[in-house]
Structure 1
Amino acid sequence: MVAGAWAIADVASMAGDTALSDTWRAYGNDLYERMEEHLYSQELNYWIDVVQGTNLRCEGRELIGMYPYRFDVGTNDTYIRGLEAGLTPEHFLTEFGPTTLEQTNPYYTAFKNSTNCCVWNGQSWPFSTSVYLQTLARLAREGLSDVATSEFFNQELEKYVLTNYKDGVPYTAESHFPTINMWSGDTSNHSEHYLHSTYFDNIFTNLLGVIPTFGDTLVLKPLVPSDWTHFAVENLPYHGTLLSMVWDQDGTHYGDCSAGFSIYSNGTKFHHQMDFQAVNVTLPFNTAEAAQRLAQQPQWQNILANPNSPHGLPAVTADWNLNVDGDNAPYPAWKMNDGLLWYDTTPDNRWTHNQSTVPYSSINITLPRPRKMRSLSLAIFADRERGGVVDCPDGIKVTDSRNRVVVFEKPWRDCVPNALNTVLFADPATVTAANKSTPESGFEIETDFLQVTLSDKLHYTTAVSEIQIWIAPNRGPRYELEDGLVGTFIGGFEGRATGMNGTIEHGGVTLGEGGWVEIADVRRSDSQAGRSGLTVTGGGRGTVEVGVNWLRNHTVSFDGATNKTVQVELLRGGNVVTVFQKRGRPFVDAVTVQ
């Protein structure tokens, strides 16, 4: 919160709003003073946990006490010496550490004394380690410590890399025993790929030293070991360009590169030096113009994703679901539009036609309202090359709500396994079962329903990880609330939910007790900031509050069908509008920017 307040102050200052900058700077400073008063142990010279409510002080070094420095909080010399004191084998350092609680603490245990996954009194957690490494890297880059040096950072990064393995292959679970090579939090079909460990940040930002900066410069402060003879980075997004970097010490490893260190922007070399040391160079383009070009690109929207799946709309169902025990299907159809996409066998996130008695299956897609679209994208899962029984479908047919065929391909020759396959719609008048649809550009249809029929290859079955429908963004002025995210999502774990307090019906949303609906990318016609009227179209009996960007709320009461307009402050670009139920069962249809 302290770092966030200071960052807001910096942005406000850049925008020329001195008063706002001063307000947030003072807020951050006040928070910091209270943080020092309540969360710092003078005895340990270290940040500690304090229990909310009782203010009970947890006296002892936890790895989380390393976090503030990474956010530019607690950076004076005294605090740095306090961080250094824990960087010994007696405190945090182990073979597969660091530990989350120092080993001298009476509550420390190298082995879990509970079957609960989330134990932080010693276990090594990749997420926690990643932030610890960010602090070490910052200290090493700035040369403020004789302990947290570049060599020490690389020692700890190597431990982190070796920890992220299982059975000799890369693997990240939840927690790891700090002294033995075994994961301690590793539940099947749940713990795999805990990539919140920000592995990539530690490689690109900390090891290779790509330091985010404002303006038209590129700054590198690498912590790469001196004995590295080569490495290459391709297409790293930075300030509206794709950067590639090649270090080839003697010019023999990469045949088409010169000896030394070269940097490319969109494939064109703009910097070269013989050694791999710190870099501070001017980029070969105007970053403000590049950012503006990116901002002007349409941000296409996947209108089929539903974070509330299997509840509400949009919805995906199928005429077959593998149901081994007759209770819960392990591969339900709603996984095809839950917004999650990967192609791993485990953890699974797919629907499959496996063990059906017929060689084809139909998938039904229902949207909240008719939408215009030109294509459909299917993420096809396949494990044939892993020794499994799933491969690309042999054929695909797509029909709309009028039972018109808009896609027919059999065989589906250009299907790519474990990839997102986009099929363009064809004019229904030109598609027959006798020939496949091969449009050069998608034919536009308007529908709230699609049926996808997939046929299996001989000896194989079919599986789909995700289905997506991408359309151009709605630029207003009217925004249909049934297109938004409906809440509240009550309970729920792995798809087993008890319900929602909002219902999409009659072209809008009826809100129950505590319900809400939220829609994003609401903007003025010129996309500029300013005060505007926001008309809420609704009905029923009840009261709602309308909030913009989770700031001030405006109360609107309905008594039958009506339009109510409130004055709101919209920010530049897209805004988030949330409608909260406060009384009764109001029906809300749309919001319109005046």
Structure 2
Amino acid sequence: MLSAGSTAHRAPLLTASPYEPLQPVEWETRFLPSAKDQFDNQWLEHYVPSIDCPDQQLVEIYNYRWSVVRRHIAYTVPETGYILTEFVKIAGHAGAFGGIVAATGHHIREARWLRDTSVVDSYINYWLKGPGKPVARMYSVWMADSVWEKYLIDGDAEYVKTMLPYLIEQWEGWELDGKWNKELGLYWQVPVWDAMEFTIGSYQTSDPYHGGDGYRPTLSVYQYADALAIARIANLIGDVQTSDIYTKHAENLKSATLNNLWNSTQHHFFHVMKEDNPSHSHLDGKEQIGYTPWYFNLPPDDSEYAESWSYLFDPNVFWGDFGPATAQKDHRFFYYEAETCCRWNGPSWPYSTSITLTALANLIVNYQNHLHVNKESYYKLLSAYTKSHYKNGKPHIAEALNGYTGEWIYDAWNWSEHYFHSSFVDLVLGGLFGIRPFANNATGDITLELKPLIPDVWDYYAVENLQFQGNLLTILWDRFGTRYDNNCTGLCIFQNGKQVYHLMNEVLPAHIIVPLPNIERNKPLRTVYNSCKNLASNPQRTPNFTKISASTSDPAHPPHEANDGVILHDEIPSNRWSSQAGTGDSWLELEFTAPIKNITAVDIHFYTDLSVHLPLSYELFYWSEWWWGWGQWNVIPNQLRVFEKPVAGELNRVWIQPGGWESKKLRVVFSGVAGGGVGVTELEVWSACDDGYKTTRHEGMVLQNDEE
């Protein structure tokens, strides 16, 4: 018999948090409150560095953008692990399990600041040697450069070394795909496969969506940066020959980009049409992508090139109070048909604004010639971008907006919300706060360098418990020593809880090399993201993998949305199971392909809203079969619950001592269910790596169509 609510085998609470520590607790400092958002605040506290500064709107959006990252961390299957997604729902043009490579560079740069980057490793593996590989070049992407930038933060040299052959294969694949023009020394791309459809160039062809093939300051520039990253990684393993080859590739691409895409009269990088353009003349209008070369420090440090930046803040060319336009405002196709998605002929796209902000930061801190811009310019653009992150007074991001009014114009209901197609965290930590580690070209040794771009009027800023080479850093700037309770005036830096640097100065220097003590890189301790197998997940609803069923279901919220690898506490976009209203006590049941044993934890992510409420209690059962379908449900023994009662908006983890039972079925029974029913956004069942459970191999679903 099934006895709901039984507590006979329940042990006391294990911990106040569902997450195990990533680093020893004594390494942390506690000057700031933890990052907070609407949901998953314990995840934010555990994985995210917190910040402080006088701009509280920026702090709010920084925290919100971390919650966007959280929403897009999706579990696939044990063979693949975690990926990061662009949409919270699987798009028709996505690869296996919903991966879309278009914004992968942004994803990696953003998530590299997590205190545990194993989820990023899993994501990179997905593209380079996993089920995402068949569509890893569906869109232009700067893959190797992003992997290198991750290395500069987490210091995981062994991982980046192992990825070298896969990064080379990805780089060389663009030529095999037919995108290389040997005569010009450039790659060509179709704007739509730059993730930029309906441009001022493509509108000048017979097919505005697919047209506009050209040599653009995108793919060739990405390949330049990736070649440099490959050369640097080759240096780490002492492969001088490969390093020299890819350094030469980068030099050639730089020369070809400057020779062919730079317009010395209009002082901007331009798209050059590939077809019917024998003289390789430049497009008849400027686009925001002309700033992309500075994202990778490609242009020379010369006043001629710096002149391009005079256009960015010119309201007659690109500037908008909520974000720059993607094309110059006086072009005949500017905003043409822009009322329908997805036009890159004027609307402001966070994807491009992110690139331009990083490019601008590079120009200011790495170049002598930046006459038209300074650190106040960076903060002005970052503030406009921050201000754009609202809808109806609440933090929000979608696909694109009107840069003049701040109205989100490409914001499909139950689809575009919390769109992960850009960066923000990286722009704050790496840009505004200037955390810019660099590596020795010969040895790969990483040095912490600070080049902050904070406004001169700020008297303080802080970032706390930032993961750097597996250790924790806290950086405090307190001009007068009155903001933080640590008796520190000026700049103070803590490493693993101990102060290691102090600069008593009322003026924050523009460039600081921090002499951190020599320590070995520390790998994160066991966490959610390196738990071995989630046996419940079946995101593609493969028939021969784990099945899920329920006592009852709201037709709009079926059971399979509770084991699709996506954790989403929002009402919209929706991704959850909920029981049918008025049916009382309910259950969710998982049926596995083989008996499970050695289960280590069960995670329940409850969903609540004005109608759907938490149950009063729940219990975990396994099925014990006697004969031909006859049997009984038994309470899973040796449970250690993080929360004695169900908690909304957080991970409800039940630790389970492995052994003593095995079963092909697991059931969660919810008792004390109110009239509106009970909801679960995700149910996860974790096992040890050596549990003996054999999963049925998932064939990677690769779907490609032309819907962006």
TM-score by length of 2: 0.59
Q: Which residue of 2 aligns with 1:454?
A: 670
CA contact (8 A) 1:376 1:423 kept: yes
Q: Which residue of 1 aligns with 2:72?
A: none
Quote how far apart the aligned CAs of 1:38 are. 4.8
1:49 to 264, 267, 271: 271
CA distance in 2, matches of 1:492, 1:367: 32
- Which stretch shows the higher mean deviation, 262-271 or 442-451? 442-451
2:512 to 279, 284, 289: 279
Q: Alpha-carbon deviations, 1:530-561, whole Å to 9, x = none? A: xxxxxxxxxxxxxxxxxxxxxxxxxxxxxxxx
Quote how far apart the aligned CAs of 1:442 are. 4.4
- Residue type at the aligned position of 2:357: L
- Residue type at the aligned position of 1:124: S
CA contact (8 A) 2:399 2:410 kept: yes
- Residue type at the aligned position of 2:670: L
Change (3 A) 1:315 1:293: closer
Change (3 A) 1:103 1:356: same
CA distance in 1, matches of 2:525, 2:250: 32
CA contact (8 A) 1:319 1:363 kept: yes
Quote how far apart the aligned CAs of 1:164 are. 0.9
Q: Which residue of 2 aligns with 1:542?
A: none
User: Could you say what secondary structure the match of 1:469 adopts?
Assistant: strand
Q: Which residue of 1 aligns with 2:229?
A: 7
1:185 to 403, 410, 413: 410
Q: Which residue of 2 aligns with 1:138?
A: 362
Q: Which residue of 1 aligns with 2:214?
A: none
CA distance in 2, matches of 1:368, 1:47: 58
Change (3 A) 1:445 1:420: farther
Change (3 A) 1:293 1:407: closer
CA distance in 1, matches of 2:384, 2:681: 34
Quote how far apart the aligned CAs of 1:169 are. 2.3
Is 2:261 the partner of 1:261? Answer: no
Q: Which residue of 2 aligns with 1:199?
A: 424
Q: Alpha-carbon deviations, 1:131-189, whole Å to 9, x = none? A: 11111111111243011210111111111111111222221121111111311112221
CA contact (8 A) 1:308 1:489 kept: no
| 1:191-270 matches, cutoff 5 A | 191-214=416-439, 215=445, 217-270=447-500
Q: Which residue of 2 aligns with 1:121?
A: 345
CA distance in 1, matches of 2:342, 2:375: 31
CA contact (8 A) 1:315 1:366 kept: yes
| 1:76-95 matches, cutoff 5 A | 76-77=301-302, 78-95=304-321
User: Could you say what secondary structure the match of 1:103 adopts?
Assistant: coil
User: Could you say what secondary structure the match of 1:227 adopts?
Assistant: coil
1:362 to 564, 575, 588: 588
User: Could you say what secondary structure the match of 1:210 adopts?
Assistant: coil
- Which stretch shows the higher mean deviation, 232-241 or 42-51? 42-51
Is 2:624 the partner of 1:394? Answer: no
Change (3 A) 1:356 1:213: farther
User: Could you say what secondary structure the match of 1:72 adopts?
Assistant: coil
Q: Which residue of 1 aligns with 2:602?
A: 376
Is 2:699 the partner of 1:486? Answer: yes
- Residue type at the aligned position of 2:455: P
- Which stretch shows the higher mean deviation, 209-218 or 392-401? 392-401
Structure 2 unaligned regions, length at least 5: 1-222, 440-444, 626-631
1:407 to 630, 636, 639: 636
Number of equivalenced pairs: 464
Q: Which residue of 2 aligns with 1:103?
A: 329
Change (3 A) 1:410 1:267: closer
CA distance in 1, matches of 2:684, 2:273: 44
CA distance in 2, matches of 1:344, 1:180: 26
Quote how far apart the aligned CAs of 1:364 are. 2.1
CA contact (8 A) 1:315 1:334 kept: no
CA distance in 1, matches of 2:524, 2:651: 26
- Residue type at the aligned position of 1:380: F
Q: Which residue of 2 aligns with 1:317?
A: 548
Change (3 A) 1:52 1:177: same
Q: Alpha-carbon deviations, 1:95-117, whole Å to 9, x = none? A: 122111111222112xx724532
CA contact (8 A) 2:578 2:679 kept: yes
Q: Which residue of 2 aligns with 1:156?
A: 381
CA distance in 1, matches of 2:415, 2:693: 37
Structure with higher Rg: it is 1
More strand by share: 1
User: Could you say what secondary structure the match of 1:197 adopts?
Assistant: coil
Asked which structure has the greater RCO (Cα within 8 Å, sep 6+), the reply is 2
User: Could you say what secondary structure the match of 2:475 adopts?
Assistant: strand
| 1:2-81 matches, cutoff 5 A | 2-36=224-258, 38-50=260-272, 58-77=283-302, 78-81=304-307
- Residue type at the aligned position of 2:618: G
CA contact (8 A) 1:394 1:410 kept: no
Quote how far apart the aligned CAs of 1:413 are. 2.8
Percent identity over paired residues: 28
Quote how far apart the aligned CAs of 1:51 are. 5.3
Kindly report the root-mean-square deviation, in angstroms, between the aligned alpha carbons of the 2 structures. Answer: 3.4
Q: Which residue of 1 aligns with 2:655?
A: 424
CA distance in 2, matches of 1:492, 1:307: 23
Q: Which residue of 1 aligns with 2:97?
A: none
More helix by share: 2
Quote how far apart the aligned CAs of 1:75 are. 3.5
Quote how far apart the aligned CAs of 1:85 are. 4.1
Change (3 A) 1:69 1:336: same
Change (3 A) 1:388 1:64: farther
Change (3 A) 1:217 1:484: farther
Q: Alpha-carbon deviations, 1:314-368, whole Å to 9, x = none? A: 4342225644xxxxx4322222222222322222221112415232123224347
CA contact (8 A) 1:3 1:28 kept: yes
- Residue type at the aligned position of 2:666: L
User: Could you say what secondary structure the match of 2:530 adopts?
Assistant: coil
CA distance in 1, matches of 2:294, 2:538: 35
- Residue type at the aligned position of 2:561: K
Structure 1 unaligned regions, length at least 5: 324-328, 426-440, 495-594
CA distance in 2, matches of 1:474, 1:410: 22
Quote how far apart the aligned CAs of 1:86 are. 4.3
- Residue type at the aligned position of 2:549: A
- Residue type at the aligned position of 1:391: L
CA contact (8 A) 2:612 2:679 kept: no
CA contact (8 A) 2:582 2:676 kept: no
CA contact (8 A) 2:462 2:475 kept: yes
- Residue type at the aligned position of 2:700: G
CA contact (8 A) 2:640 2:655 kept: no
CA contact (8 A) 2:611 2:677 kept: no
- Which stretch shows the higher mean deviation, 190-199 or 249-258? 249-258
Quote how far apart the aligned CAs of 1:54 are. 6.3
Q: Alpha-carbon deviations, 1:441-495, whole Å to 9, x = none? A: 44465444322222343455321111223334469xx996x4554123447999x
CA distance in 2, matches of 1:140, 1:257: 32
- Which stretch shows the higher mean deviation, 405-414 or 143-152? 405-414
CA distance in 1, matches of 2:529, 2:552: 37
CA contact (8 A) 1:216 1:283 kept: no
Change (3 A) 1:84 1:379: same
Quote how far apart the aligned CAs of 1:371 are. 5.7
CA distance in 2, matches of 1:371, 1:79: 63
- Which stretch shows the higher mean deviation, 80-89 or 49-58? 49-58
CA distance in 1, matches of 2:378, 2:530: 39
CA distance in 1, matches of 2:372, 2:624: 67
CA distance in 2, matches of 1:192, 1:17: 45
CA contact (8 A) 2:552 2:586 kept: no
Change (3 A) 1:6 1:446: farther
